[in-house]
Structure 1
Amino acid sequence: MSTAQMHPGAHPVDEHLVRRLIAGQFPQWAASAVERIPSGGTVNVMYRLGDTMVVRLPMLAGGAADVSMEQEWLPRLAPRLPTAVPEVLGAGEPAHGYPWAWSVYRWLPGENPRAGGLTEPEALAADLAGFVAAMRSVTLPGAPRAHRGGPPASLDAATRAAIGQLRGIPQEGVDCDAVTAVWEDALRAPAPDGPPVWLHADLMPGNLLISGGRLSSVIDFGCMGVGDPACDLFPAWNPLPAGARTVFREALGVDDATWRRGRGRTLSQAVIALPYYRTTNPAMADNARHVIRAVLEED
């Protein structure tokens, strides 16, 4: 997969650059093996460093600020969460033509959950609800605004534009009228009646790690901050099946309005992703198709 094709303006990163960055800034790790990690990620590229570390570098200027935010907030969030999160071992700086900050993290084992391939879906749903509830309970002051933490209306123009694109791609078979109806229902849903809460704000399968069917780690906190609690309901349709979705909702005590906003936001993300990634990132495109189906099939 070519990041230059996926995103115009993506900065090229290869093994040679990673080795030079490590040797220049963390010579104690210079002898460690460096290996690219295949990923459907869209903002960062990752390289395994030895057996116990991973290097994470933004591909785009838009992701560069996330690095500093993670370095600041992850050490403060980690002891407040029930699930392992990335531990920053080294804060890298621009060098050798690479223009942004980057990080070395401790390696977290596990695999991404796959819709249709979960062995303990209801237990995983409970684990995910526990993580979301713990995030919501965080009271650390000075929190940033979550990247995806605003009202559904903030995504209206982009969502409608993407629906229009999908109408022009009939081979995708998306019922754009049904998608529009769900989206407009989310726009009509009442706003939250409480203060903003802490969010991960990007609980996609690629940012979840499971072991033995259970949640073992949550990664990539680049969108974190405070916002609408509906924004952390992504797992309900992505990757949880219907029965586990109910477990997730009940464990969090999600009211109707929040559920409608969360469903609409999850659908919006998928609708925007599908036309953008359908020819450059098969994993993201397939995930978007799954989410659209899951939302439209919900009773």
Structure 2
Amino acid sequence: MTHVEGEITAELVRDLVREQHPDLADRPVRLGARGWDNQLWRLGDDLAVRLPWATGSADALLRNEHAWLPMLAPRLPLPVPVPQRLGEPSERFPRPWLITTWVPGTPADRAPVTRTADAAATLATFLSALHRPAPSGAPTGRERGGPLADRADQFAGGVTAATERGLIDDPDAVRAVWHDAVTAPRWTGPALWIHADLHPANVLTADGTLCGVIDFGDVCAGDPAYDLAAGWLLLPDDTIDHFYAAYRPTPDAATMRRARGWAMARALGGILIGDAGVHGRPGGKPSWGPPAHAALQRLIATIR
């Protein structure tokens, strides 16, 4: 991860807002969170400023979210950070930035689901509302929502790395889940809107259930199986059947197999990122490890 030069401070955020959106300049500013791509600063009680601070792709993701999420948000049954203003690059800060609505809650990697039935139904209802045919001009996610086979080399490398670090006990079982998914029939329906980054750090919880979804930078058109993988990542044991039963239309067997493969890929990535965080390596997130390990064990259990 390559971070922006110089520190992002409350003073910098206030100056940016004052320059480009002066009608909001009197609102108090305080740090909200530091994520993978962006820092989030509270702007009063109901707004937030998102500034990219890592990865070169973050700029395009912010613009993607600004372009498409306002159209999708009205039909979504959970709160999402709806873009309100776009900040353009300037001498003060050389990257685009967003002002969005603030969504309260705690990321699920730090506050896991405990009300399982409610969370399963809530996640299914949210994805049922999001997964509608996308227009022809919608962005496409080749790596997220495309064929799993396109990620085969990356997956193999992740298994090797995790095995060498002693992070997984049964790499053959991990590969078996992936192989079953890769050999499932491909998605032949219309390209549907998908969130495309629905892991525990991007889903908020309160009182043991889901209360919001954030970070729509990767939103695109593709195979809904990519998002359905979130059931394995977010929901505790013995909940996935309730999730699939509540999702509409009911997914077929091939879609569930692909979702299981994507979930394994996301779990493997979370394990590696969590381990990097534990050891203080750049880009690491210690809180990503435990939910990823739990998901991997759930997935392995389906083939034993």
User: Structure 1 222/117 Cα, relative in aligned 2: closer, same or farther at 3 Å?
Assistant: closer
User: Structure 1 268/237 Cα, relative in aligned 2: closer, same or farther at 3 Å?
Assistant: same
What TM-score comes out, normalization by structure 2 length? 0.87
RMSD: 2.2
Specify the alignment match of 1:164 in structure 2. 160
Specify the alignment match of 2:104 in structure 1. 109
Please give the alpha-carbon distance, in whole angstroms, between the structure 2 residues aligned to 1:42 and 1:117: 19
Segments ≥4 residues shifted beyond 6 Å: none
User: In the alignment, which of 219, 227, 233 is matched to residue 224 of structure 1?
Assistant: 219
Specify the alignment match of 1:53 in structure 2. 47
Specify the alignment match of 1:74 in structure 2. 69
1:28 CA drift (Å): 2.8
Please give the alpha-carbon distance, in whole angstroms, between the structure 1 residues aligned to 2:91 and 2:296: 42
What TM-score comes out, normalization by structure 1 length? 0.88
Specify the alignment match of 1:278 in structure 2. 275
What pairs up with 1:146-185 in 2 under 5 angstroms? 146=141, 148-170=144-166, 172-185=167-180
Is the Cα–Cα contact under 8 Å of residues 116 and 241 in structure 1 kept in the other structure? no
1:68 CA drift (Å): 1.3
1:64 CA drift (Å): 0.9
User: In the alignment, which of 286, 292, 296 is matched to residue 292 of structure 1?
Assistant: 296
Determine what percentage of the aligned residue pairs are the same residue: 36
Please give the alpha-carbon distance, in whole angstroms, between the structure 2 residues aligned to 1:75 and 1:38: 22
Please give the alpha-carbon distance, in whole angstroms, between the structure 2 residues aligned to 1:85 and 1:268: 25
Q: In structure 2, what residue type is equivalent to 1:161? A: G
Q: Which runs of 5+ in 2 are unaligned?
A: 277-283
User: Structure 1 85/274 Cα, relative in aligned 2: closer, same or farther at 3 Å?
Assistant: same
Q: In structure 2, what residue type is equivalent to 1:158? A: Q
Moved more, 264-273 or 208-217: 208-217
User: Structure 1 217/25 Cα, relative in aligned 2: closer, same or farther at 3 Å?
Assistant: same
What pairs up with 1:1-299 in 2 under 5 angstroms? 7=1, 9-12=2-5, 13-15=7-9, 16-39=11-34, 41-59=35-53, 60-113=55-108, 117-146=112-141, 148-170=144-166, 172-252=167-247, 253-279=250-276, 280-298=284-302
User: Structure 1 271/117 Cα, relative in aligned 2: closer, same or farther at 3 Å?
Assistant: closer
1:191 CA drift (Å): 0.8
Partner of 1:216: helix, strand, or coil?
A: strand
Is the Cα–Cα contact under 8 Å of residues 197 and 228 in structure 1 kept in the other structure? yes
Please give the alpha-carbon distance, in whole angstroms, between the structure 1 residues aligned to 2:114 and 2:271: 27
Specify the alignment match of 1:4 in structure 2. none
Q: Which runs of 5+ in 1 are unaligned?
A: 1-6
Please give the alpha-carbon distance, in whole angstroms, between the structure 1 residues aligned to 2:15 and 2:111: 41
Please give the alpha-carbon distance, in whole angstroms, between the structure 1 residues aligned to 2:291 and 2:236: 14
Is the Cα–Cα contact under 8 Å of residues 16 and 92 in structure 2 kept in the other structure? no
Please give the alpha-carbon distance, in whole angstroms, between the structure 2 residues aligned to 1:174 and 1:37: 37
Q: In structure 1, what residue type is equivalent to 2:259? A: G
Please give the alpha-carbon distance, in whole angstroms, between the structure 1 residues aligned to 2:101 and 2:205: 17
Partner of 1:137: helix, strand, or coil?
A: coil
User: Structure 1 213/96 Cα, relative in aligned 2: closer, same or farther at 3 Å?
Assistant: same
